[in-house]
Amino acid sequence: MSKKFEESAEFEELPDPVRRALTRGLGLFPMLPLLPGCGAGSDESDQPDQPGQPEPSEDKAQANRLAGASATGVFRHPGLLVTEDDFTRIRAHIKAGKEPWTTWWNTLCADRFSSLDARPFPLPAVYRLDNSKHAMYVDIRRAWYLTLRWKLSDPQDNRYADKAVEFLDAWANTLKEVGTVPPGSTASDDHTFIIMAGIQGHQWAQIGEILRTYKGWAPQSLKRFQQMLLTVFAPISSAMLSKAPIGSHANWDMASLCGALSIGVFCDKPDLYRQACDYFAGNNRGQLMSFGNASLVHGVYFMHPGHLGQWEESGRDQGHSTLGISLGGSLMEMAWNQGDDLYGLHNNRFLAAAEYVARSNLLDENGKTYPMPYVPEHNPTAPHTELWTQVNQGFQHRRNAWEPIYNHYVNRMGLAAPNVARMVAWCEPNYGGNSDDVPYPTLIHRRPAYAGPMKPPSGLTGHLHGGRVLLSWWGSVGATAYAVRRSSRANGSFMHLATVSATELLTFTDTPPDGVWFYQVTAQGPGAPRAGSNVVRVAAPGETWFSLPLNDPSSTGTVGALRTATGTFAAVEGKLLGGATWGEGRRNDKAIVFDGRESGLQLPSGVFRDLDDFTVSMWAFSNPPVPWNTCLLFAGNDAYSFMRITPKAGRGMRFGICGATSPNDENPQVLEAPWFMPIRRWVHVAVTLRGNIGRLYVDGTEVVKSEHMRLSPRHVGDQVTFLGRGWGLPSFNGRIQDFRVYSGALSAAEIAALAR
């Protein structure tokens, strides 16, 4: 175990998340819903094996679903990359001579790494920057092949299990440390042992999880192997996730996520498993927490039209980008097999990244790379002066990273993933001859092609962007085209707007007349369902989204009205924090008073839900002196992905919006006035965003404009929203009233009217 992480060597069970108390005196954040159970381990019954066989009903599939381990803390074994049901299915395919399972089984049996003549070469310490790592890489590979030989043989040949156990026992009895460089080396310690601890830790756990079903593995030997993983590997991964290092690339976190989650399952440690699930989901569970670049909202930095998700390492190179996809597929499949759906988070946001990375590695009909949309972001490991401005497509990478992703979204769920599908066919021959990926992915992950009825399009989103309605959706297996429709009523009737071919990017931009409009997409092609996608509601050019007067003469008015997805308003209540009180308002009423130290008003998540074009408006009274970087408003996912309004920052009053990828909001997109916020009087402050054009208004007058605002609330999230305070900074010293949010950018005249 690395000495740097000794303090994390012991793991204590985390308390029930429902009873977790918030630290640092910040009140209770809204806890994200626990991840839903998703047919883990038994979903093969949901797929007919022969064309034409009726598909089991969704009610039956739902009835088979259990609560996920993130909620229960109870694990199913074996339940990492391959479950018992999976092995039963694969053995049946091999026995029947079906492809591609039979070919890959024969390849495995002929592979020299699955020989019974092999013997382990354990070491007491393994370092990433010398040859010792290769001893572990090779022994992991041999043990994995031997384990598959045993588990997939019919009848099972226990000689292979005995040989695999020999490898695990040898390393459990010997290994005490993984590091970057051996003692006495003059080489620089670049801490890349963190990556090795995560990747190789998760690979060891895969083998152990399968072999735990072998009765010939002595219980004390199994326990010794678990203890080796808990003391040598797991503390490193857990510590990495605890520190939320936004200055490292996504793959550092992805490796640690796989290590923590897999070891958590194999060693029956719910705290480790839950830490990984929460980190990937960006779920703060009621605590003020930050997450690194593999947390999904950070790793998928920007959502382009057509559900193309820009992956954090895409500006670096495709070898690293595809590694992130490989690790992500492993992570999500393991969680799925424990009943937790990381695949579906944020409207299949990881699939959006996979489609983006896949397309970055493919060539068009002329043998040329596809032009890829890209929003500039910083290289997080540089001194933050290197700004990536495009996808690095200098080398197309054939890493076989795609099997779990393709087989979940396409073959399990019936969603179309055309770029991923092409990568699966291209990369299948590369079955994992490296230390990064779990070998034989086609053998263990491939499922029968989706044979159920065509599903309606799904995941339709509609955003105002540049004053127009931007639509994106997920396609359906078997569809040839999609009809985009619009109505003035939620239940129709719908007018046909356009037909989008299934071979095109699944997006459409509409310029409707002013009003409230409802959109739906339907699939076309043989067997297309009559039902359409979900219906989305969009008001053009915008509407009141959230209103919080904060002017109650009785000093109890922290209740506001938030528009719901159906267009109605719901009452939501803010929470006073840190001694926030009530004082004199603008018009013989009351206003919230912030003390410049710890006070604030916490708002529920959803205030900026899915907004692209938007307007923020408020009245504020600042007392002197005005400290640096206090906030009138802070809204975001965490300390790295947010937007805020500050009365004094840089050279003037400022609005800034920042995604992740580099620390210390190194490259926020800002609107900065030439002077600080006026003091000792009520000031009207407003910010508008229309497309890429942002404007900051003070007292109804535009003071600064930028045409380079690419981020918007829907990209940075709003899990944490405050008035009168920021993230870990002193609160605003003054008063706030009449806070409003609009979908759409109000005009200069409308802003002036609000400022009267």
Give SS3 for 678. Answer: coil
- Alpha-carbon distance of 302 to 659, in angstroms, equals 8
- Note the pLDDT tens digit of each residue in 82-110: 999 999 999 999 999 999 999 999 999 99
- Alpha-carbon distance of 733 to 728, in angstroms, equals 15
* Interstrand relation of 177-179 and 125-127 (parallel, antiparallel or unpaired): parallel
Average pLDDT for the chain: 90
Residues of the chain with pLDDT > 90, as a percent, come to 80
Residue 4 predicted with pLDDT over 70: no
Tokens standing for 468? 């127009």
Residue 35 predicted with pLDDT over 90: no
* CATH code of domain 3-11+30-54+65-445: 1.50.10.100
Beta strands in 398-535 (DSSP E): 458-465, 468-474, 481-487, 495-501, 507-510, 515-524
Please count the CA atoms within 13 angstroms of the CA of 701 that sit on its side-chain side. 4
Q: For residues 572 and 559, is the Cβ–Cβ distance under 8 A?
A: yes
Report the pLDDT value the prediction gives residue 555, as an integer from 0 to 100. 60
- Alpha-carbon distance of 743 to 358, in angstroms, equals 33
Q: Where are the domains of the chain?
A: 3-11+30-54+65-445, 458-540, 543-754
Residue 419 predicted with pLDDT over 60: yes
- Alpha-carbon distance of 245 to 584, in angstroms, equals 43
Q: For residues 411 and 424, is the Cβ–Cβ distance under 8 A?
A: no
Q: For residues 196 and 178, is the Cβ–Cβ distance under 8 A?
A: yes
Fold of the domain spanning 458-540 = Immunoglobulin-like (2.60.40)
| Cα–Cα nearest to 47, from 83, 86, 82 | 86
Residue 597 predicted with pLDDT over 80: yes
Residue 434 predicted with pLDDT over 50: yes
Report the pLDDT value the prediction gives residue 66, as an integer from 0 to 100. 57
Phi, psi of 448 (to 5 degrees): -55, 145
**Region 205-231 average pLDDT:** 98
| Longest alpha-carbon distance in the chain | 89
Report the pLDDT value the prediction gives residue 663, as an integer from 0 to 100. 56
Task: List the single range of 377-381, 444-448, 505-509, 644-648 with lowest mean pLDDT.
Answer: 377-381
Do domains 3-11+30-54+65-445 and 543-754 share one topology? The answer is no
Which residues fall within 8 angstroms of residue 107, CB to CB, at 6 or more apart? 431
**Region 7-30 average pLDDT:** 30
Question: Taking the model in full, what pTM does it have?
Answer: 0.91
CATH number 2.60.120.200 given to 543-754: yes
Tokens standing for 3? 């000495």
Give SS3 for 419. Answer: helix
Give SS3 for 351. Answer: helix
Neighbours of 242 (CB within 10 A): 15
Q: Is 282 exposed, middle or buried (0-12, 13-18, 19+ CB in 10 A)?
A: buried
Question: How far is C-alpha 732 from the chain's CA centre?
Answer: 32
Dihedral sign for Cα 358, 364, 367, 373, please. negative
Give 372-408 as a DSSP string: -----EE-TTSSS--EE-S---SS-------HHHHII
- Note the pLDDT tens digit of each residue in 704-750: 999 999 999 999 988 999 999 998 888 999 999 999 999 999 999 99
For residue 247, name the pLDDT band (cuts at 50, 70, 90). confident
- Alpha-carbon distance of 142 to 116, in angstroms, equals 10
- Alpha-carbon distance of 402 to 322, in angstroms, equals 9
